[in-house]
Structure 1
Amino acid sequence: MEEICEKITQFKSKVITELQGLTDLDITCKSLLVNYLNNYNSLNSTSMLKIQAVLDYMYEQVNCGKWKDVKLYLRKTITIASYLKLLVHLKCSIRLTEDLLKESFMIIDHGILFGCPLNEEPKLLQKCASIINPFVSQLYINENLNSETTSTVAFENNCNNLTSIDILDCPSMETFLRDYILKEKPVVLENCINHWPAMEKWKDQNYFLKLAGLRTVAVELGRDYTNAEWTQKLMTLEEFIKNHIFNTSGPVGYLAQYQLFEHIPELKNDIAEPEYCCFSDVSENVDIMAWFGPKGTLSPLHYDSKKNLLAQVVGKKHMFLFSPKDSEYLYPYDTELLHNTAEVDPRKPDLEKYPKYKEATPYYCTLDPGQMLFIPPKWWHCVESLSVSFSVSFWWE
């Protein structure tokens, strides 16, 4: 415990510097947090109650409007208060128990999910998790977690012949740029990610349990995000794997479009950003998202504004794609929230309800482990998993 506390307190001076720069923060909250950080040795259970009161107030502030409009200083305060709460939690504990570890990660993960990076220490809470993480693996013994057998999902498409997508074996950068990026044409790439450690490690769900089983993530529950009963729920990765990956009796659970590699950086060591992402018009970082779920997860027909390389690591997926030129035939929703999502389901299109769909040209492929699909900007795509599946998407301008 002393060793852990000593390592985590090494970030204290940077946190204080960041806190002092939050000029918009209420003076009462700011003074309380500064005082506790400067007098760490005097922290006790009463301090925890006051820190939690600050967090509750911040949560109330960030949940009263749209997430995109939340002031940055509020989220930074959540990160700082979560760090301080973790310090008090560890300082007031005597032994390193399973319950202590679970509560420590819950504090960290709520701070990551609702807070934001600090300028002085962008990976503050992730680094705290890495300090604690070596003590977790001993809690787990290998379990028999086997994926169900891949099976074919039937679909109807009797209005048009399916157009196949080119498959290339690790093309040159020049070929990829000239024939696909510049022409905005989809393509499947083979033998480009075989060197990723993830290709072997992620086959075993025990790997995720030992590395991050106690970590809290946001899971989508429901058929898909267009369904009225669709929702999101916070749960540990262990709960997600045991209750949704291998238990099909309840609602479909999907860790979809999730910044898992920012949340748990250890997993990022298992992959590598493809060189093809270097063809960018801006200097911004590539967005890396995780897509982890059981057989039958569905992303309805939609488009994204960025270039996308979708890498399939575990399992298989059916993919339907349509050119932006076919948008009028796909019946996009007439709402701000779903403007980039289509009403028609290309797996079983209802031609009586959507007669113009027969004018569209569907492209189709099955994405196997080790393959990547390049999806150009604004290209519509519908994705359905045929088995337990883990995909990684790379988005760039």
Structure 2
Amino acid sequence: MSEISMPQETRLEDCKQPVVFRHVLSSWECSSWTLADWASKTRNVPLKFRVGLKSAAGAPRWETEGARSTATIEQFSQWISGHSDKRNELATVDSSSHFAYSSYNYMHDVFRDLPSVLESVDWASFGFPGRKGADSTLWLGSEDSDTPCHQDTYGYNLVAQLIGKKSWTMFQPKDGSYLYPTRIPFEESSIFSMVNFKEVNFVTFPELQIFCSSRQDLTMWC
């Protein structure tokens, strides 16, 4: 794991390991926004949320599974604070036992009528001048939200952590064959692992013990 203060010092496509850039979001207007600010600025824009149990037992929780609810960021904020009304689809979900997250929100689509929100994102400091919110996706989740272990098969991910914290569990590409890869469920750009890394079963997946030392855990806070 590397830490670099200024992205311009490196070419992202040449990186051979995960890199953390610190203190480079200050130029983003939205870097100081709270969840309440996002709720206010996005008004009544509805987002799709995937809902599931926080318990980790069994097989991975595939993204195609689980209930779906529609809510605004304000309604999501109310739900995680325990103050939902009957107009909020998340109100029927117990936030103490369930997670909810909204992913793959292409900002040019969901916030197309909110230019100030799109302009609040600016990837120029990462070496991509002219790239704004219109070139970005938004991910929003409650505590204990997670996605199955997977490998993206092309390109690289550049993630800006704006609020809260996110934990990553990472493995070296050379260890992919020990992760019990699967293309089911099918997703064009991803190879999934059959392993639930919140509760690893070494009896079912014995080869995992071969390379456990290569695992890296990272938690990013804002």
TM-score by length of 1: 0.43
CA distance in 2, matches of 1:225, 1:277: 35
- Which deviations, in whole Å up to 9, do the C-alpha atoms of 1:242-270 show, x marking residues without a partner? 22x32324632111121135421432222
In the alignment, which residue of structure 2 is the partner of 1:252? 99
**Contact kept? 2:100, 2:141, Cα under 8 Å:** yes
In the alignment, which residue of structure 1 is the partner of 2:140? 292
CA distance in 2, matches of 1:183, 1:167: 12
CA distance in 2, matches of 1:227, 1:261: 23
**Contact kept? 1:277, 1:286, Cα under 8 Å:** no
1:318 aligns with 2:171: no
Q: Match of 1:318, SS?
A: strand
CA distance in 2, matches of 1:208, 1:183: 32
Q: Match of 1:233, SS?
A: strand
Higher helix fraction (1 or 2): 1
1:186–1:296 distance in 2 versus 1, CA, 3 Å: same
1:216 aligns with 2:216: no
Aligned residue type for 1:294: S
1:301–1:287 distance in 2 versus 1, CA, 3 Å: farther
CA distance in 2, matches of 1:234, 1:274: 33
1:346: how far off? 3.4
1:278–1:212 distance in 2 versus 1, CA, 3 Å: closer
1:344: how far off? 1.6
In the alignment, which residue of structure 1 is the partner of 2:10? 176
TM-score by length of 2: 0.73
CA-atom RMSD, angstroms?
2.8
In the alignment, which residue of structure 2 is the partner of 1:342? 193
* Aligned pairs (5 A) from 1:168-247: 168-171=4-7, 173=8, 175-177=9-11, 181-201=13-33, 203=34, 205-223=35-53, 226=62, 229-243=65-79, 245-247=80-82
1:195–1:287 distance in 2 versus 1, CA, 3 Å: closer
Which stretches in structure 1 are left out of the alignment for 5+ residues?
1-164, 280-284, 370-397
Which stretches in structure 2 are left out of the alignment for 5+ residues?
54-59, 83-94
Tell me which structure has the larger Cα radius of gyration: 1
Higher strand fraction (1 or 2): 2
Size of the aligned set, in residue pairs, is 193
- Aligned-residue identity in percent: 19
* Aligned pairs (5 A) from 1:3-82: none
CA distance in 2, matches of 1:297, 1:227: 11
Q: Match of 1:206, SS?
A: helix
CA distance in 1, matches of 2:38, 2:169: 30
1:273 aligns with 2:123: yes
1:277–1:220 distance in 2 versus 1, CA, 3 Å: farther
- Which deviations, in whole Å up to 9, do the C-alpha atoms of 1:95-147 show, x marking residues without a partner? xxxxxxxxxxxxxxxxxxxxxxxxxxxxxxxxxxxxxxxxxxxxxxxxxxxxx
